[in-house]
Structure formats: C-alpha cells, structure tokens
Chain A
Amino acid sequence: MTGIGQLVAPPLRAHRHGERSAASIVFLIALWGAMAFAVLSLMVLLVDSFLDGSARLDVELFTKYTSQVLPERAGARAAILGSAFVIAVTAILAIPLGIAAGVYLEEFADNSRWYNKLIEVNISNLAAVPAIIYGMLTAGFALAIGLERRVVLAGGIALALLILPVVIIATREAVRAVPREIRHGSLALGATPLQTVWRQTLPGAVPGIATGSILALSRALGEAAPLLLLGGLVFVNYDPDGLMSGFTTLPIQIFNWASQPQRAFQEVASAAIILMLVLLLIMNALAIVIRNRYQNRW
C-alpha cells in the first residue's frame, strides 16, 4: 500500500527507495558490476602498460631512432619529433578553419534554409566517419594535386580533416553559450554583426573553444589509422626537417613495433605507450584547467 512517506518527493538519486526486493538488490549489484568492469579494465590496461614498459623508459627512448637490428636500443626520437611537427600542422590547419565555420554556422547562417541544415547534418556525419577513410581521402587528394603522400604536410592535412568536425562542434557550443543580451547590447550601440562577433561573442567563447581544440588535438595525437595510407611511414630513422619531409608518429611507431615478434620491440612499444599516455594526460589536464579557470560564468 502506498504510505505517506512514498508520496513525498524523493531525492533525485534515491538508491534506498521502496522495498528492498531480491531483484532490486541483484539489479543494483549488476549495475555496480558494470561500472566495476569498466574501471577494472582501465586499471589493468594502465598497470599492464606500465609494467611492460617501465624498463625501457630511459634516455635512449628519446634520443635514439628505431632500429631493425638492435631492438634493445631502439628509440622513439623520430616518432616524437614527427608527432610534434604533424600536430603543429594539424592545429594550424584545423583550428582557424573550424572556428570560422563554427562561428558562421552559429551566428550568421539562417538555420531554416535547407543548405544550412544540410551542412549541419553533414558535419555530424563527418564526425562519425572512420578515421582510416580520412587517410584515403588525403591520399587521393595528394595524388590529384601532385603532392607527395609521405610528407608532414599530408599527415597534417589528414589529421586536420579528421578533427575539423570536432572543432566546429566545440566552437558552436561555446558560441551558443554566450548570452544573447551581450550581442543585443553591442548591436544596439551601432556595432555591425561581425564587429559584435569579433569583439564580444568570440572573446566570450574562447575558453570553450580552447578546451575543445586541445581535446581534439589530443585525439589527433593518438591516431594512427589516417596516416597509414600515406605509406612508407614505418621505418623512419631521421628527424623530420620541414613540411615536405618524411616522418613517423608515436602511434605509428608503436603499431610497427607491436607488430614485430621480438620481445624487445614489445617492451619499447609499451614504453612509447607510456610516453604517449603521459602527453595525452598533460593535454587533457590543460584543457580541463582552462575550462575551470577561464570559463565565463554569465
């Protein structure tokens, strides 16, 4: 029977609510179990990587190139520098374009027009396209314009195409969060829409855009699939020296080492994994710090 106690509005997260049937308890255990599985997987993955690779977290990891003959002395130097170069190109290509597109779609596009709705749907689709397809697109594009496939520039283009939808979506959300009253106040003074965006809306959206961009770049850092098709990346034992230089990146190098049978390659691969995870941790922490410290509270 319904008692008065149950007619009172319950707290949002009531886990002690109503009778404690056996089924309820089993259900709750199952849920905790699901959560535990996820947490456990993560812990095991991290611990295993650390155990496997900590032996090779040495100076040589940073200073030496990969080696076919001496896997014990292989290092990720070329991969580290290559990642740095490629991510820099990716950032320069994807972030300004993504912000421009995001600002246009959020501030200026008339969303009742069919072509603007098409663009929006299109961007959602692009965000879900498998990463390797962007490699194929870049390979085809490079072929069409006569660009060498195996160069830093092509790698940057492939990754920029991959993260462009993410930057656009992050920009749109950040811009949307700026209150309308700010825009109206600016326009009412005789500012043009573009001046309003440039001087009020965009500055207000910068923390959100920065956070989204850094997260997008950290995704690009970890991606190997798009770069595989820009062939010949697997054995690089020199520093990259420019946009048209050959290169390799951390995830590609890890993929290559993990594909080899020798145990020493397995170790150095997991050392490189630790390195990459640390870099990603730093980037994500930076993004979170920016979001928490600079996010405008309207």
Chain B
Amino acid sequence: MATYVTDGSQSIGAHSAPVNSTTVHPDRHDRTLPTKPNPIMECADVSVFYGDFRAVSEVDLKFGRHEVTALIGPSGCGKSTLLRSLNRMNDLIPGARVEGSVTFHDQSIYHKDVDPIEVRRRIGMVFQKPNPFPKSIYDNVAYGPRVTGMKVDDMDHLVEDALRRAALWEEVKRKLKDSAFGLSGGQQQRLCIARTIAVNPEVILMDEPCSALDPIATSLIEDLMAELREDYSIIIVTHNMQQAARIADRTAFFTASMDYTTGDRTGELVEFDTTSNIFGHPKDKRTEDYISGRFG
C-alpha cells in the first residue's frame, strides 16, 4: 500500500512494510513492555466541562508506572485539558468540572477529602513555555521544598541532586545565585523540570514542553525523559508525532468531533496502545490517517 513518509522527506513510494514510516529510535525502545500497563494513574470515563461546553469526552486511560505515555493528536482536541485535570490545575479555571473518575494509586483525586495542593505536589507539571520564577536558580529549585514544608537536612544537596537529574547541574553549578531569567530557553525548561523534581513527585505531567525550544534543546530534553522514566512516571502532551514515536512507551491518539449546531469541538480518545503498535499497526482508520499525515 502506498504511504507517505512522514519524517520530512518528500519521497513517495510503496512500502511493503506496515504503515509505520516514522523512524523509531532504537535505544528508547529497548525495553520490553508488558501488554497492559501497571497503572499509577487511571482515567475512567472522564469528561471535562467548561460550564456547559464539553471539552473532553469519556476518556479511559491507564498510565503506566515508570513509563512515558504520550497524548497526541491535532490541536483543539482537549489533550492539554485532560492533562490539566490529572493534577487538578483545571480547578483554577472558573466553571471547569470533571466527571468520571481520575485515580492516583486507586484513589480518586477529586474526592471531597482530597487536598488539591497535595495532589499537585505528588503529580508535578512542566508547562509549554518555560516559566521560571524571578529568583535565583537556587531559589527556583528550593522553592517547592520550602513551601511544601519538606524537612530538608541539606538543601544544597537537594538542589544539586535535582539539577543533576535534570541534566542542568554542570551548566549552572557556578552560578546558582544568578537570576533564572539569564538562562536560555532550553536551560530554563530544564530548570523547571529540576524544580518539579525537587518536591519528589511520582508523576510528571508535561504539556508540550519542547514546543517553545530549538531542536538542540528539544533533543536534550528528550534524552532526559528516557532517564527520568527510571524514577518517575511521565505523561506528555505533544503535537509532534515524531517526538512521541521517539520517546514514548505508550501513546494515546485523540481527535476532535465537531458539534455542528454550536461549533464546539469535543475531544475524544481514539486509540491507546504501545507506541510501536500505534505507529506500526494502528487499529483505527483515523489513527492511521493522522500517522500517515493525511490530516492534522
């Protein structure tokens, strides 16, 4: 069957191989994944509303422990909205509400006894545009432990540890007291990762973390994610299919359905599987169309 190569080259040709035509980086996938993830977080029939408008519809997902799960799909299909409901950042938007159940270690994070502040400490978030605080690099990393009341015997050591894990230590070790705003975009994003790590979360949510960065910085962060996977579970929203193919263990593909009477677009989950299956043997035609670049 004829396919289009989607890694940027223009050649058109027939491939006898399955639809997957994006390059899957070998060393990121040298692990054997269980067929079903051992989930640290789960979404069951989750819909997210802003007032009456349904932004995301009936999503069922299991996010695996120590895995990178990517949420991909064209823009406007609620991926970021879903991501924000995983650490209750959606609470900040007036009129936002979540139906269905979002669980963390089998406990609902929207239960009335649950403290959203504590949820956010355990489930961290890195944003699309790096947003360091107007403080020194040291104080950026130390901020989280300080405000969450962590008992820290040696803050210097904690800061160094977090910066090392974010692959930033070597570049900043001599200028910890300098303002974070003096760093480059890629460094700032790694700083944001470092400060998220500093509060010792279990899950790290990333909302298109590389979309504001240049390719070199992007590649550094992608390498970083493979290492971070050892200690944390990562859920990443990305517009960049190839990025998902490169770094994700499992991938969830979303699309948007349009309500023609109101003009509203509601996001829905199309398919969720291991990355190699999504890109190699997609079960849904819409997935196949997206992967092969026919739309989106």
- On A, residues with C-beta under 8 Å from B are 110, 112, 179, 181-182, 184-192, 195, 199-200, 204, 296
Contact = CB atoms under 8 A, between A and B. Distances in A.
**4 closest Cβ pairs, A-B complex:** A190-B121, A181-B131, A189-B144, A188-B125
Contact of A190 (B127, B129, B133, B147): B147
A195 B89 contact: no
Contact of A181 (B87, B92, B120, B127): B127
Contact of A187 (B120, B122, B196, B199): B120
Nearest to B128: A181
B92 A188 contact: no
Given A110-B94, A112-B94, A199-B147, A188 B134 contact: no
Contact of A186 (B122, B124, B133): B133
Given A112-B94, A200-B133, A296-B134, A188 B124 contact: yes
Contact of A188 (B129, B132, B196): B196
21 contacts: A110-B94, A181-B127, A181-B131, A184-B127, A185-B127, A185-B131, A187-B117, A188-B89, A189-B120, A189-B147, A189-B196, A190-B117, A190-B118, A190-B120, A190-B122, A191-B117, A191-B143, A191-B147, A195-B147, A199-B143, A200-B133
Nearest to A111: B94
Interface in B183-217: 192, 195-196, 199
B38 interface: no
Given A112-B94, A187-B89, A192 B131 contact: no
B107 interface: no
A185 B92 contact: no
B89 A190 contact: no
A189 B131 contact: no
Contact of A184 (B89, B117, B148): B89
Contacts of B87: 188
Contacts of B89: 184, 187-188
A269 to B, nearest CB: 48
B143 A190 contact: no
Nearest to A200: B133
Contacts of B192: 185
A182 B147 contact: no
Nearest to A188: B125
Contacts of A204: 134
B183 to A, nearest CB: 15
Contacts of A182: 131, 133-134
Given A190-B144, A191-B148, A199-B143, A185 B121 contact: no
A189 B148 contact: yes
Nearest to A196: B147
Contacts of B127: 181, 184-185, 188
A229 B8 CA distance: 80
Contacts of A181: 127, 129, 131
A192 B88 CA distance: 13
Given A182-B133, A192-B147, 4 more contacts: A110-B94, A112-B94, A184-B131, A185-B192
Interface string B72-99: 0000000000000001010010100000
A188 B120 contact: yes
A296 B131 CA distance: 15
Interface string B40-80: 00000000000000000000000000000000000000000
Nearest to B122: A190
Contacts of A112: 94
A110 B92 CA distance: 11
A199 B199 CA distance: 17
Contacts of A195: 147
Contacts of A185: 127, 131-133, 192
